[in-house]
Structures are given as structure tokens and as C-alpha cells.
Amino acid sequence: MAHRHEVIVVGAGGAGLATALYAAREGADVAVVSKLYPTRSHTGAAQGGIGAALGNVEEDHWEWHMFDTVKGGDYLTDQDAAEVFAKEVIEAVIELEHMGLPFDRLPNGKIAQRRFGGHTKDWGKAPVHRAAHAADRTGHMILQTLYQQCVKHNITFYNEFHVTDIILEDGVAKGLVALELATGELHLFQAKAIVIASGGFGRIYKVTSNAYTLTGDLQAILYRKGLPLEDMEFYQFHPTGLYPLGILLTEGARGEGGILRNALGERFMERYAPTIKDLAPRDMVSRAMYLEVREGRGVGPKKDHVLLDLTHLPPEVIEKKLPDITEFSRIYLGVDPLKEPVPVMPTAHYAMGGIPTTLWGQVIRDEKNTVVPGLYAAGEAACVSLHGANRLGTNSLGDLVVFGRRAGIHAARFAKDADYHELTEEHLGPSRERIERIKNSTGKEKVAVLRAELQQSMMDHASVFRTGELLQKQVEILKELMDRYQRISIEDKGEAYNTELVEALELGYLLEVSEALVHSALNRTESRGAHAREDYPERDDANWLKHTLAYKVGDGKVAFRYKPVVLGRFEPKARTY
């Protein structure tokens, strides 16, 4: 089956839907290819809010938001991206509201805002109310609102289609191949512009807030084709995952006044970030929690977690502003946050790194910013380097809308003057071969076993704290897992809804992105943001104030190139809160 659309977006989360909507508004014929029904996309799990300097509760300025983003990113953030973002996210929030997003309101009718980690006023002097929210279901509301708008604009949706290949020839993106889950059939898609908005890859870790679908498919597909992945060593652990499940409890809980406590009942963040305490950036809070546990102040029989205490807050604040996380605690742990503190530990949450792009979402292939014509990326799959070495809470929802919009506008304008490329049945060949090889294999390895080994080993060797020794060990483990992956077999040989086949394909992607992450982390001999090397505890601006571009150059081999950080008005300084 062949399909043809001017702009094809891969992924139907916040970034994909924003891209599709703005491309359609530019007059392009747009299609969205998604492995999930759109409103099941993982943006729906985002809880806390979308940060924008609206100044509805107290004085705020986009310059302050830009400063917080750059400082939060440990000065690896490209400052041109932070500036574009801090300005445009204000319009984006107002536009979402005009589309009908049901934000919480202040008594005066304006959009309500809450405090959030790392967001400050007056260049870091005190926390600020910046996060616009719809209870603790902000991502869900963004997804529903954008999807309704896409339906209104008659955008074509191909739901439950798994992209298996991006067709890149002569350095140009020409189309893509996708597996239709319902039939097992491969489809060929012709496009003038392709936008990748396929989300992150938290499933490389055992404890994660990410859905089962977040397996880094498109990052891996481009990485295999010789395109680089940028800053993959920077992976964020969110401090408050429900222990031991990793289900997310929003930072909005701390924004509303929640306090982290150790076994002694101490508010331990006072030691690590005396000014903004529990609202320090995520990388700092996650490390502080691990240190408390490591030094013997953990809670429980195994002393292996800490507590999030909301018991001092008025019950109506908890029930009205944090209804979802209250329910999660009660359902999954049998803990009532009104009456007792909730067990928490960091959970793998967000990739700061990904497919390198320009400020308009154009994918770039090298350190000279050479653009791949017709190929775009936005959202968590992309790395425009807004987030640098550590993303501030709420900046991901802003990122989706701001850079999704930019990618959509640029892709539609590019498509106006571009032509379709000739594609033939032969372009289905590589995908068909890969699928047949998995189906016909008589190997003894099982997908679930390999995946569990990958997730546990990544947790043990490449998570919140890292050392050269542990990372080197993980390099060897990944080589062995990739070797064993060649010998996997599956029992379901059917065509319709073959989820076993899908999981086998996804395991391949997980292994590839893990390889890029681990090699990048081993290569960067400093600590910065979410990348904490215990053998190199200091940030090293002399040698490492630069972006990593990781290239796959053969089995288990990765080559590196570097791209300068775009500096600007904020000089790199030590990060204290």
C-alpha cells in the first residue's frame, strides 16, 4: 500500500499534534502516523504544568524564565533556543487557552500558576509562580485540546502504524515505511517533509515513569543510518517516582508545599539547596535523595527510599489541585497522602538528548549544522538543546508546543516548493527482511529476558550516579546483549496484532539508544546537570562546554564529534540554589 502526503508527522503526542496542526494551518496536506491512538500518547501522563512568564500571580519576565532554563541546564543549554522558547511559550499558552484548554483559574479569571522546581524570580532570588496548570492533568488536557483541533482541520491519522524505516537517499528524506498492526502489512509513505515527534526512550531503565511504548524507535532508526544523536549522556531522573513502581508524582506536589523527608523526619533539601529547598532542579534533588539513602538515612526495612510529606497541607489543596497523584498513592500503594507521607525514589523520566535540530526543527547531520532536507524533529525525540544538561520541570510541555509549532510551519513552507520523490516496492525490502528474520528465527533467546537484563543493567551502571568503571562494564554488557539479540525468536508467527513481533523490534531500538547513551556518558569526563560522574565530580567548562554528537560506526563502535554551545547573555557560573 502506498500513501502520499506533503507533510507526514511520526508520533501523535503533544509535539506531533502541535506540528500537524500548525502545518495544516499553513495549508499543507498533513498526515500523522502513530503507533498508538493519539490520545493514548505519553504527553497525557504529564501532570504538573506548562511554565510561561505570564505574571498572573506575581511579577515575572521571559528573561527570568530564560535565565532559569540556561542555569537549570547547567550552561549546556543553547541560549538562542532558550530565548526563542521563553518568549514564544507565553503566546503558546494563551493560544492553547483560546483553543479551549481548561486551565485552572485565579479568582480574577486569569490562568492560575504554581511554583515549580528551578523556576525563580529576580535571577534566582526566590521561587516564582510560573507553571500554568489544569489540576495535575495538564498534559492530558494539552493532548485532548490539540487532538480536537487536528480533527477540526481534517488531518489524516494512521493509527497503530509502527514506523520501521525512514527512507534517506542522497542525504534527502523521501518517505517512510510503517507496519500496520491490524493487518501485519507494510505500507509505503511518500512525503515532501517528515517530522519525527516520536517521544523518548525511558524503557531502557527498569524504574521509569515512561509508558511501555517509549522505546526510542526513531532515534535508533536514524542512528543506524549514520545520523548523529546529540547529548545522549544527559538523562533525567524525576525525583518523585512512587516507590518502588516509578509511577510519577508531579513536582507540582512540592510546588504546592510538599516536603521531602528522610528517616529522621528531616527536611534534608535544606542542606543541599538552602534558598529554594525542595524546589531545586531535578538532577540536584535526585542526587540528594540517593545520598540520603546511601548515608543510611533512608526509610523502610531496607532503608532504600525517602518520603514526600503532604500531610501539613489543607486537605482541599491536595484533593482539588493534586487529585490524580492522590489517587495513584491510594490505588498503587494503599497510602493516603492526607494522612501519611508517600514513599518516593527517583524514576527515569526524560531524555535531554536526541536527534539534533535547528531552531526550526530541521534535523542536522554534523557539527557544522548541515541540514538534512525534508527531515524535521520536535519534542522529546529532538535535541534543539533547550534543556542542556538538565530540563526544568514544565519546560517539556512548553517545548512540545513552541518547537512543534515551529517545525510544523517550516515543514509546510518547505513542502510548498518541494517535489515528491519516486519510491518503489523495493523500499520495503529492508523492513520486510528484518521482520522475516525475526519471524523465521529458530534462536533460543527470548525478548522479555533480554529486555529485563538490559533494563536492570542500565539501572545499575548508567543511572543517577556513574563511574568510568561501571560504564565500561555496561559497554561490554550491551555488546553481549546485542550479540544475543541476533538469536531471538518469537512464537507468534501471525499477521494481525502481532505484539510479540513489535516488542522484538522495539528491543532492537532500546539496545541502540542505550549504546549511544552509555558511550556518550563514558566519553564525557566531567559532571554536569543530570550526568554525574563520581570519578569526575567537577564541571569542566574548559574541556566540556560543548555538545556531544554520537555516531554509530559499526558493531558496538561509536565515534564522537562536538558542536559548540551557543552562548549569550548568561556567562557560565557555578550552579547554587
Residues with active-site annotation: 282
Annotated binding residue 217? yes
Helices (H) and strands (E) in the chain, counts: 16, 20
Annotated binding residue 250? yes
Annotated binding residue 380? yes
The closest of 222, 206, 245 to 165, measured between CA atoms, is 222
Distance CA 491, CA 499 (A): 11
Annotated binding residue 216? no
Distance CA 163, CA 169 (A): 17
Annotated binding residue 474? no
| Amino acid code (one letter) for 103 | F
Which residue in this structure is represented by grid cell 523492513? 431
Annotated binding residue 35? yes
Angle at 576 between CA 575 and CA 577, to 5 degrees: 130
Which residue in this structure is represented by grid cell 550526568? 531
Annotated binding residue 34? yes
Annotated binding residue 396? yes
Annotated binding residue 37? yes
| Amino acid code (one letter) for 500 | E
The closest of 438, 455, 456, 450 to 482, measured between CA atoms, is 450
**Alpha carbon 320 to chain centroid, angstroms:** 28
Annotated binding residue 51? no
Distance CA 45, CA 528 (A): 27
Angle subtended by helix axes 217-224 and 499-523, to nearest 10: 70
DSSP 8-state assignment for residue 178? E
The closest of 390, 115, 41 to 237, measured between CA atoms, is 390
Angle at 365 between CA 362 and CA 366, to 5 degrees: 120
Annotated binding residue 14? yes
| Amino acid code (one letter) for 554 | G
Annotated binding residue 442? no
Annotated binding residue 40? yes
Annotated binding residue 146? no
Annotated binding residue 98? no
Annotated binding residue 41? yes
Q: E strands of 422-498, at which residues?
A: none
Annotated binding residue 91? no
Distance CA 119, CA 106 (A): 20
Bridging pattern class, strands 362-364 and 161-169: unpaired
Annotated binding residue 429? no
Distance CA 509, CA 198 (A): 13
Annotated binding residue 258? no
- Which residues does the annotation place in the binding site for substrate? 238, 250, 349, 391
Q: List residues forming the annotated binding site for FAD.
A: 11-16, 34-49, 217, 380, 396-397
Annotated binding site: which residue ranges? 11-16, 34-49, 217, 238, 250, 349, 380, 391, 396-397
